[in-house]
């Protein structure tokens, strides 16, 4: 048994004094993460600079003319983007993309162009009121806009299109790359956005049929995407709400990056609606960032704040996700945690679950 003098709590203050300030390191953190850095990326994303540079270098004046920007101002943003490693500056105020900049193209995998646009616009306004969230635990977005982010997207066509494009091109297909769908006929992607993940699955598994459920605003461009990927003939697109009902008869139900948008009460409501639709043979595939319970960098620790400030949701640990599944009447039958590192920035876990009442 620990005596009071040897317990960790008693010795911690002496054993770990506050280290000396490293102002240079903090300064570097500030310079590379402050709004001027992110909003420079936003300018590049919004104006489509990477698309405009896809076929070779151009002057900032030429880029400004094409994108209706002020030439002097755009030159200065391009110079800052060079400093961030996004652009390369050549003689004569001419710019080219670096490999990092090329990832901002509309067709680049990962959907980062649209992710940056969404985060540079309405989410940015919410973050300006972050203290509201810190003091109340509520989404600052609702405080700023007087409505939830999804209610805002239902009303505003342009932000909704950017949000859908983000989810459409950024859906985590790699998480399901090795998943076995050979025994399935119908996959139901619940909250599947404009269908990027479903299109990927239907392309890859020719025997599958797919049902896409999302809000009417969420599926607004889904048929076009599925048609462009030549899988619309095997897909059904439903505009509805996963709080109301989810189609029955699926072999595999997917909830990808959905549960993290919601607090536990709403997450349980969604999981319950899905469970009611599922049969004895159905399985649920839940994809979300599972925050590891260890110190150090993990993208989920920041995505968690984004969920909190913008949506009132949360990223969860694996234990929290499985507890939530159990509370909704599921039992987890398989869990895959990703390797987190520079090559796997999205860091999503895959949890397979079945309805507990039917037996796992
Ligand atoms: C973060 S996105 C995830 C999209 C996609 N599953 C992915 O992996 O990228 C969350 C999705 O939930 C959808 N959503 C929000 N409320 C909904 C509701 N009540 N019913 C159905 N879908 C909803 C949004 O429109 C959005 O497409």
Residues 198-213: pLDDT tens digits? 999 999 999 999 999 9
- Among the candidates 102, 124, 153, a domain finishes at 102
For ligand 1, atom 10: residue with the closest CA: 258
Q: Which domain holds residue 138?
A: 112-164
For ligand 1, atom 7: residue with the closest CA: 171
> Which of helix, strand or coil describes residue 255?
strand
Q: Is residue 16 in some structural domain?
A: no
Kind and range of the H or E element at 122? helix 122-127
Whether the Cβ atoms of residue 73 and residue 80 lie closer than 8 Å to each other: no
The whole-angstrom distance between residue 266's C-alpha and the CA centroid of its chain comes to 18
Mean pLDDT, residues 126-148 taken together: 98
Helices 23-33 and 35-47: crossing angle in degrees, nearest 10, is 20
Sheet containing strand 283-289, edge to edge, reads: 235-239, 209-214, 186-190, 252-256, 283-289, 348-355, 330-336
pLDDT at 67 over 90: yes
Task: Give distance in angstroms: CA of 140 to centre of ligand 1.
Answer: 20
The tokens describing 334, both together, are 């398989």
The tokens describing 46, both together, are 């919004």
CA angle 111, 320, 357 (to 5 degrees): 105
Mean pLDDT, residues 259-264 taken together: 97
Say what the pLDDT of residue 166 is. Answer: 86
Percentage of the chain beyond pLDDT 90 is 81
For ligand 1, atom 19: residue with the closest CA: 241
Asked if 318 and 189 sit in the same domain, the reply is: yes
User: Does residue 192's CB lie within 6 angstroms of at least one atom of ligand 1?
Assistant: yes
Asked if 123 and 95 sit in the same domain, the reply is: no
Q: What is the Cα–Cα distance from 329 to 356, expressed in whole angstroms?
A: 6
- Which candidate, 359, 333, 334, 337, places its Cα nearest to that of 346? 337
Asked if 343 and 203 sit in the same domain, the reply is: yes
In the DSSP assignment, the letter for residue 309 is I
List pLDDT tens digits, range 275-323. 999 999 999 999 999 998 888 888 889 999 999 999 999 999 999 999 9
Q: Diameter of the chain by CA atoms?
A: 74
Q: What is the Cα–Cα distance from 20 to 218, expressed in whole angstroms?
A: 50
User: Does residue 191's CB lie within 6 angstroms of at least one atom of ligand 1?
Assistant: yes
Whether the Cβ atoms of residue 169 and residue 195 lie closer than 8 Å to each other: no
Whether the Cβ atoms of residue 15 and residue 59 lie closer than 8 Å to each other: no
For ligand 1, atom 5: residue with the closest CA: 192
> Residue 109 — very low, low, confident or very high, per pLDDT cuts 50/70/90?
confident
Whether the Cβ atoms of residue 156 and residue 223 lie closer than 8 Å to each other: no
Burial class, 268, CB count within 10 angstroms (exposed 0-12 / middle 13-18 / buried 19+): middle
Asked if 48 and 123 sit in the same domain, the reply is: no
List pLDDT tens digits, range 155-168. 999 999 999 988 87
Asked if 286 and 156 sit in the same domain, the reply is: no
SS3 content of the chain, % helix, strand, coil (to 5): 50, 15, 35
Q: What is the Cα–Cα distance from 271 to 83, expressed in whole angstroms?
A: 45
List pLDDT tens digits, range 172-190. 888 898 899 999 999 999 9
Q: What is the Cα–Cα distance from 214 to 209, expressed in whole angstroms?
A: 17
In the DSSP assignment, the letter for residue 356 is G
In the DSSP assignment, the letter for residue 164 is H
Average per-residue pLDDT for the chain: 92
Q: Is residue 12 in some structural domain?
A: no
For ligand 1, atom 11: residue with the closest CA: 191
User: Does residue 176's CB lie within 6 angstroms of at least one atom of ligand 1?
Assistant: no
> Which of helix, strand or coil describes residue 70?
coil
Whether the Cβ atoms of residue 337 and residue 318 lie closer than 8 Å to each other: yes
Say what the pLDDT of residue 346 is. Answer: 62
Say what the pLDDT of residue 5 is. Answer: 40
Q: What is the Cα–Cα distance from 212 to 234, expressed in whole angstroms?
A: 11
Q: What is the CATH number of the domain that holds 281?
A: 3.40.50.150
The tokens describing 27, both together, are 């300064």
Say what the pLDDT of residue 13 is. Answer: 54
Asked if 187 and 82 sit in the same domain, the reply is: no
Atom of ligand 1 nearest to the CA of 243: 19
Asked if 119 and 248 sit in the same domain, the reply is: no
Q: Is residue 44 in some structural domain?
A: yes
Exactly one of 132, 149, 200, 260 is catalytic; name it. 260
Q: Is residue 177 in some structural domain?
A: yes
User: Does residue 218's CB lie within 6 angstroms of at least one atom of ligand 1?
Assistant: yes
Task: Give distance in angstroms: CA of 198 to centre of ligand 1.
Answer: 13
Asked if 260 and 346 sit in the same domain, the reply is: yes
Burial class, 300, CB count within 10 angstroms (exposed 0-12 / middle 13-18 / buried 19+): buried
Whether the Cβ atoms of residue 238 and residue 192 lie closer than 8 Å to each other: no
Q: What is the Cα–Cα distance from 183 to 217, expressed in whole angstroms?
A: 32
Number of domains in the chain: 3
For ligand 1, atom 12: residue with the closest CA: 191
Q: Is 200 a catalytic residue?
A: no
> Residue 341 — very low, low, confident or very high, per pLDDT cuts 50/70/90?
low
User: Does residue 171's CB lie within 6 angstroms of at least one atom of ligand 1?
Assistant: yes
> Residue 360 — very low, low, confident or very high, per pLDDT cuts 50/70/90?
low
pLDDT at 15 over 80: no
Asked if 125 and 71 sit in the same domain, the reply is: no
Mean pLDDT, residues 232-251 taken together: 97
Query: CB neighbours of 117 closer than 8 A, spacing ≥ 6?
Result: 42, 45, 46, 162, 166
Say what the pLDDT of residue 7 is. Answer: 44
User: Does residue 242's CB lie within 6 angstroms of at least one atom of ligand 1?
Assistant: yes
Task: Give distance in angstroms: CA of 242 to centre of ligand 1.
Answer: 9
> Residue 61 — very low, low, confident or very high, per pLDDT cuts 50/70/90?
very high
Task: Give distance in angstroms: CA of 218 to centre of ligand 1.
Answer: 7
């Amino acid at each position: 048994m620990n005596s009071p003098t040897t317990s960790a709590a008693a010795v911690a203050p002496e054993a770990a004094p506050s280290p000396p300030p490293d102002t240079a390191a903090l300064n570097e953190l500030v310079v590379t993460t402050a709004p001027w850095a992110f909003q420079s990326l936003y300018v590049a994303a919004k104006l489509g600079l990477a698309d405009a540079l896809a076929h070779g270098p151009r002057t900032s004046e030429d880029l400004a003319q094409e994108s209706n920007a002020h030439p002097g101002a755009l030159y200065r943003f391009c110079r800052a983007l060079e400093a961030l490693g996004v652009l390369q500056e050549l003689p004569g105020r001419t710019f080219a993309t670096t490999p990092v900049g090329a990832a901002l193209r509309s067709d680049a995998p990962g959907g980062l162009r649209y992710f940056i646009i969404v985060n540079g616009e309405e989410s940015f306004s919410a973050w300006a009121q972050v203290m509201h969230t810190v003091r109340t635990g509520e989404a600052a977005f609702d405080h700023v806009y007087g409505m939830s982010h999804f209610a805002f997207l239902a009303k505003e066509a342009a932000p909704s299109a950017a949000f859908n494009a983000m989810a459409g091109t950024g859906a985590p297909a790699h998480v399901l790359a090795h998943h076995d769908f050979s025994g399935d006929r119908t996959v139901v992607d619940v909250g599947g956005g404009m269908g990027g993940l479903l299109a990927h699955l239907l392309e890859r598994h020719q025997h599958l049929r797919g049902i896409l459920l999302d809000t009417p605003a969420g599926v607004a461009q889904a048929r076009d995407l599925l048609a462009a990927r030549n899988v619309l003939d095997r897909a059904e697109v439903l505009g509805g709400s996963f709080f109301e009902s989810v189609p029955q008869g699926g072999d595999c139900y997917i909830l990808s990056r959905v549960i993290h948008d919601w607090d536990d009460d709403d997450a349980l409501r969604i999981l319950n609606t899905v469970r009611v639709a599922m049969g004895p043979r159905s399985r649920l595939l839940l994809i979300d960032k599972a925050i590891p319970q260890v110190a150090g960098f993990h993208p989920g620790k920041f995505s968690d704040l984004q969920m909190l400030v913008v949506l009132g949701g949360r990223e969860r640990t694996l234990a929290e996700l499985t507890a939530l599944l159990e509370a909704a009447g599921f039992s987890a039958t398989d869990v895959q945690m990703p390797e987190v590192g520079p090559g796997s920035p999205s860091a999503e876990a895959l949890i397979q679950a079945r309805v507990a009442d039917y037996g796992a």
